Chains A and B, each alone.
Chain A
Amino acid sequence: MTRVVYKVGDDVSTDTIYPGRFMATVLPSETVQYAFADDRDFNARLQKKEIAPGSVIVAGSNFGCGSSREQAASCLAGHGLVILAKSFARIFLQNSVNLGLRTLAVPDLEAEPGDELEILSGRVINRRTGKEFPVLPLPPARQAIVDAGGLIAYTRRRLLEKAGNNQKN
């Protein structure tokens, strides 16, 4: 069981998730402090660790649109947040997959801050309303990266395979 801690609308951009003025900061251990920096209240709650890892942000469609800045995914991953959105922007989704930020596309989701959700394989149940919502599966190509533990591990494996093949040849 996990709790919805924050709700945002459609087309939330990476400028909202991680403002451009903090882009010189790149280490995931440091990007966490700037998550939703322009929403002072939510940012303060995150910084004071008032939000438990595994908590959910509910979003509309096209979440993460805009810049390719990876900090937008790493700052949320660092807080252990889970993002449930109607849909995600392409680069943000790929960054999330690559870095291990948990994102689920739940097109019909109805949930409000404070609601308790049960995230199961292929569906999400809102315990307050009792309603159940299907989760769109990740395309298999992206699931393979998630299963490997992210793109660093996946690429490392491919690199070692390639090095092994070169040796054999």
Chain B
Amino acid sequence: MGMTVAEKILARASGKTVVNPGDVVEPQVDLAMSHENAALVINQFHDIFKGTGLEPRVWDPDRIVIIFDHRVPAESSKTATNQKKIREFCAGQGIWRLHDIRGDEGGICHQILPEYGYVRPGQVVTGTDSHTTSHGALGALAMGIGATEMASVWTLGVLLNVEVPATIKVAATGRFQKFVGPKDLILHLIGKITAQGALFKVLEFHGPCIENMDVSGRLVLANMSVEAGATAGIVAADGRTLDYLRKEAGVRETVVPVRPDPDAEYAQVVEIHAGDLEPQIACPHTVDNVVGVSQVEKTRIQQVVIGSCTNGRLDDLAVAADILKGRKVAKGTRLIVFPASSRIYRRAMEKGYLRDLMESGAVIMNPGCGCCLGVHQGALGDGETALATTNRNFKGRMGNPNSSVYLCSPATAAASAVTGVITDPRQGGKSR
């Protein structure tokens, strides 16, 4: 019996020729990513070495990447002190890939990793962030882990005691309608299989709709796979992946895609016809509470957020700028935009997207996670409602348990910012 992409990657990384779901393996880690929570990883890392008589050294500083994104610039003295501690640790350990708070190379970890060519097809990628699943968009096996597990990875370079997950095949056919896209597809999928539909499993995306999708869109799918409970989301690498790595990420060496075997065994197959989808909305307070936009149209919103590791890329800002150009954000509604990286920010500036957005009334923030996780830069007031292109709408997510968050695509967010109520971009968006 053949193997899925995840099985092939885990077999290779564990020195085996074949693995099956349920097997326990110890894969070598190719890339270990952390953000500000590296402060906790450092504590646990030192704890591991306590009493051993060994000097605390990371297994391979070249395989560790740290990116400040969750609270940039620091929102509190506590965070600033954590960031300082991490800088000092990186300097002491020779960890050179530290993306600090900078306008030339800063951004959200899940954008920096692909953008800088750190992720390659076939790698085992781990990160102390649940949305590490994003990097499956490049054909890697990428999963989120906790801080103590990362301390263990820093020490030994392997993931201990990993069970090989079964894989669900998502087959997406057809072409999207105008103003419908990858975000609508993944929201629809999560609504269909629920927040636990892929628990302890991998989602592997297939079909003509995925083949025609660029890496930016694939990142949306892999990013939100975790919202269906998935260990990882994967799009097997193809010509588009290699193009992206060469042209966007500056990768020079030869990259070998890992493709699933034709006779790979899947736990389940889910079919989606992209052409049938209307814009999708995840309603409060779970990501699988998904409906077509027509069911919640006219819901009043006080805050619109465009950005995050899910939808803060150049194509997202382009769609939003196109819809908002020459129009105004509705009175009583505020629009906050977070480009996902400094590179995207700069390009959006050069292309005039930021000007168009600002002239419409949008506030452009520095690249980072921003208000997505409710720490700073856009908390909601009591009883307020937000419409966001982010990935989570849990109670209290945007900093206030007495508020509500709806999730949508950049097109829906932009069209709704104009009206101040949830709006179908196919009606509210200008035709191009």
Contacts and interface: CB of A to CB of B under 8 A. Distances in A.
Contact of B40 (A13, A62, A70): A70
B396 A19 contact: yes
B152 A27 contact: no
A130 interface: no
B196 A94 contact: no
Contact of A16 (B36, B151, B396): B396
B196 A91 contact: no
A61 B375 CA distance: 27
B156 A158 contact: yes
Chain B interface SS verdict (over half): loop
B169 interface: no
B196 A87 contact: yes
Interface string A58-71: 00011001111110
A103 to B, nearest CB: 13
B138 interface: no
Contact of A89 (B76, B199, B399): B199
Interface residues of A, number: 47
A2 to B, nearest CB: 26
A159 interface: yes
A126 B246 CA distance: 61
A98 B40 CA distance: 14
B200 A11 contact: no
Interface in B259-297: 286, 288
A70 B128 CA distance: 9
A141 B78 CA distance: 36
Contact of A38 (B43, B129, B396): B396
B328 to A, nearest CB: 32
A43 to B, nearest CB: 12
Interface residues of B, number: 57
Contact of A24 (B71, B156, B396): B71
B394 interface: yes
B69 interface: no
Interface string A27-65: 100000000001000000000000000000000011001
Given A11-B195, A21-B399, A151-B149, A68 B160 contact: no
B196 A155 contact: no
Given A68-B145, A70-B40, A155-B152, A23 B375 contact: yes
Given A24-B82, A38-B396, A160-B52, A62 B195 contact: yes
Given A24-B78, A26-B43, A68-B128, A155 B156 contact: yes
Contacts of B397: 13, 15, 20
**Nearest 6 CB-CB pairs, A to B?**
A141-B161, A20-B373, A95-B146, A26-B40, A38-B401, A13-B394
Interface of A: 11, 13, 15-16, 19-21, 23-27, 38, 61-62, 65-70, 73, 87, 89-91, 94-95, 98-99, 139-142, 144-145, 150-152, 154-156, 158-160, 162-163
Interface of B: 24, 36-37, 39-40, 43-44, 47-52, 54, 70-71, 76, 78-79, 82, 127-130, 132, 144-149, 151-152, 155-156, 160-163, 195-196, 199-200, 229, 231, 286, 288, 373-375, 392, 394-397, 399, 401
